[in-house]
Structure formats: structure tokens, C-alpha cells
Amino acid sequence: MEFTTDERFGTLTACLSNVGQAICPYFHIKIPKLAADRHKLVELAAKYDMGVKEIIEESINMHGIYELYNAKRLGCTEYHSVKVMSHGITKIIEAEKAGSVQWII
């Protein structure tokens, strides 16, 4: 199977949001303290090239759990994306433990 791939920009995929590298690493995490101020949570995640989606699954009573995903796929390697996300998730966990995103932004 052949793929259209560019050394710099990555792989052309059928999903426009996945153009670039074809992987999309993500984490599901419960962060109730940071979730209290969603704007600051989104701001912190963006600092590490991540996006934020709340997961709401009524059938299994899942509330307050967020998906943090790699928002930047074009022009970077898979390794770089995972490394940046790992660092970002670490900072978000530190902020959650501290009870505030204020000190880390």
C-alpha cells in the first residue's frame, strides 16, 4: 500500500484534521480542580500544543473527564508530538495537584 508522504509535512490522510503525521496521541484524565476554570485549562493545554474536549457519557455516568489531544500534526514528527504531550500532561497533573493553573502559566 502506498501513501503520499512528505519528509517535512508528514502523511496525507483522508481526514483533514489528521493531515501531517497520521497519529493522534491523547489522554483521558479527571482534573476537577482545573476543570472549574475551563478557559485557563484550555489556555494551559494550548501552551503545549494540546486541545481539550470534555467527555460526557451519560450511560456510564462519566463526568469531569477530559480528553487532551495533540492539536499540532503538521510540520512536526510523531516523536516531537508525543514528547511535547508528555511534558504538557506532566504540567497539567502538577497544576491539578497544586489546585490551580495560576502558578504554571
**Residue 105 assigned to a binding site:** no
Q: Is 9 annotated as a binding residue?
A: no
Q: Is 86 annotated as a binding residue?
A: no
81 labeled part of a ligand binding site? no
Distance CA 24, CA 2 (A): 20
92 labelled ligand-binding: no
Q: Is 2 annotated as a binding residue?
A: no
Q: Is 76 annotated as a binding residue?
A: no
Angle between helices 38-47 and 78-98 (to 10 degrees): 140
Is 87 one of the annotated binding-site residues? no
94 has binding-site annotation: no
Nearest Cα residue to 102 out of 90, 87, 91: 91
Cell of 60: 456510564
Annotated binding residue 24 = yes
- As annotated, the binding site includes 24-28, 54-59
- As annotated, the binding site for ATP includes 24-28, 54-59
